[in-house]
Amino acid sequence: MDYVKTDLLVIGAGSGGLSVASGAAQMGADVTLLEGGRMGGDCLNYGCVPSKSLLAAGKAAQAHRGGAAFGVTPGAPEVDFAAAQRHVADVIDQIAPHDSVERFEALGVRVIQEYGHFVSPSEVEAGNCLISARRIVIATGSSPLVPPIPGLIEVPYLTNETVFDLRERPGHLLIIGGGPIGIELAQAHRRLGCEVTVIEGARALGQDDTEMAGIVLDALREEGVQIEEHAMAAQVRQRDGAVEVEVTDGRVFEGSHLLIAVGRKANVERLNLEAAGIEATGAGVAVNASLRSSNRRVYAIGDAAGGMQFTHVAGYHAGLVIRSALFGLPVKARTSHLPRATYSDPELAQIGLTEQEARDRHGVTLKVMRVPYAENDRARAERQTEGMIKLMVVEGRPVGVSIVGQQAGELIALWSMVMAHGLRLSAVAGMVAPYPTYAELNKRVAGAFFSPRLFESPTVKRVVRLVQRWLP
């Protein structure tokens, strides 16, 4: 067995692991990277990249249907489903070299293409290698959670790891799960010509603001997506070549294909954490605010750390770990400034508290500002007036922002900066956005907080009249 001694061992070559490995190597550390699967992890191969690529194909198809308002004769698009999926594969292929073994070896990273498991608090075995490391980062990501629904084991089903392999268009796609993954794939497949039914045991987009999520769900229903809420799957079966999902109230939904999208689980089973003295929970590796596990040599980041499951969160964690592991600096992971987005059409984005969460926490001190997209000139010009930005404010500072509408995922980024640096709303109200842009929505909703104080205040009116009397 080969013996490797290294400063930093990174287990997992998804977005978080790759960020740690590349940053640490370029700063002079001896870095070893383990990956037994595909370089780039879930985000590149099965998640963010392919799903957004398929959504883009669906959006192109939808453009053919919606031209009437612009004076363009609408028509039914001719969709080549296999070509749409080849587009997805092509986008992955374009990005893959950036995440490749060759690139990371060129950066000075020792890449071992094997899965690894702990054999001691500081050693990991991978294939025929025994690796001893001063610091170890677990960045193994997550996989689709497959629920124990009776009959499911006997029925062919898809997950986000297999759905992009399809080349023949599903006639009727049943999706169990109405979270972001289920909703995005529902809309993409519907726009590409599939019948789609979403079966959700509770409320679709249930982690998001109810009012804002309702706008997204209404848009999907208008496009023909059937969304069944409070429909807990009780049994799955095959009958006459079709898939049937029976829910607890006795209703039965029939389709040609079944997609499971009920959530994700951290990939920690094969790591033999016990050998390293690492505690785990049902969500993943247990970490403290500095992302260290119960074994202080070992960090966990991204989905493996059991928190928010987003690529950008893994990247944020990676930056913190580099500071701690390489320079010994104190770090503390926060979540209040971390945004999330669902890339449906309209998009749905959130940072901080939703309105209900803010009301529960802050009570009467909370102020809620709303600005509809219909009051934005760029939205009017592009016929994208469906949507709203909602701002939750306590004592002049935002505690949450919800956005639904065109480019919501882009607009939420400004609020991440504001909340990361503890800025007051006056900073946003004082910015100048180019006209006409959707960015004016951010400025306008911040200004809405100050408007009553300026335009409805008797004191301000008296001061203005007094000043005008004395001005030359």
Which residues make up each annotated binding site for NAD(+)?
177-184, 200, 263
Q: How many CB atoms lie within 10 A of CB 51?
A: 21
Q: How far apart are CA 288 and CA 336, in angstroms?
A: 16
**Residue stretches of the annotated binding site:** 52, 116, 140-142, 177-184, 200, 263, 303
Question: Radius of gyration over alpha carbons of the chain, in Å?
Answer: 25
Taking CA atoms, 321 is separated from 256, 267, 280, 282, in Å, by 46, 19, 19, 23
Residue 353, both tokens: 């508290």
Angle, in degrees to the nearest 10, between helices 81-95 and 48-65 = 140
> CA 391, CA 34: separation in Å to the nearest integer?
43
d(Cα 356, Cα 206) in Å, to the nearest integer?
12
- In Å, what is the CA distance from 374 to each residue of 379, 387, 403? 7, 8, 13
As given in the structure block, the two tokens for residue 110 are 């020792």
Angle separating helix axes 180-191 and 210-223, nearest 10 degrees: 20
Cα distance between residue 120 and residue 107, in whole Å: 28
Q: Count CB neighbours of 397 within 10 A.
A: 13
Question: What is the spatial order of strands in the sheet that 195-199 belongs to?
Answer: 226-228, 195-199, 172-176, 257-260
Q: Which amino acid is at 308?
A: M
CA–CA distance, 73 with 432 (Å, rounded to integer): 38
Nearest to 341 by CA among 419, 410, 263, 443: 410
Query: 276: exposed, middle or buried (C-beta count within 10 Å: 0-12, 13-18, 19+)?
Result: buried
166 to 39, 47, 89, 134, 257: CA distances (angstroms): 21, 15, 11, 44, 11
Q: Which residues are annotated as a binding site for FAD?
A: 52, 116, 140-142, 303
- Strand, helix or coil at 432? coil
What distance in Å separates the CA atoms of residue 323 and residue 24, rounded to the nearest whole number?
9
Residue 265: beta bridge partners?
143
Extended strands (E) in 15-115: 31-34, 110-112
What length does the chain have?
A: 472
- CA 262/CA 179 separation, integer angstroms: 7
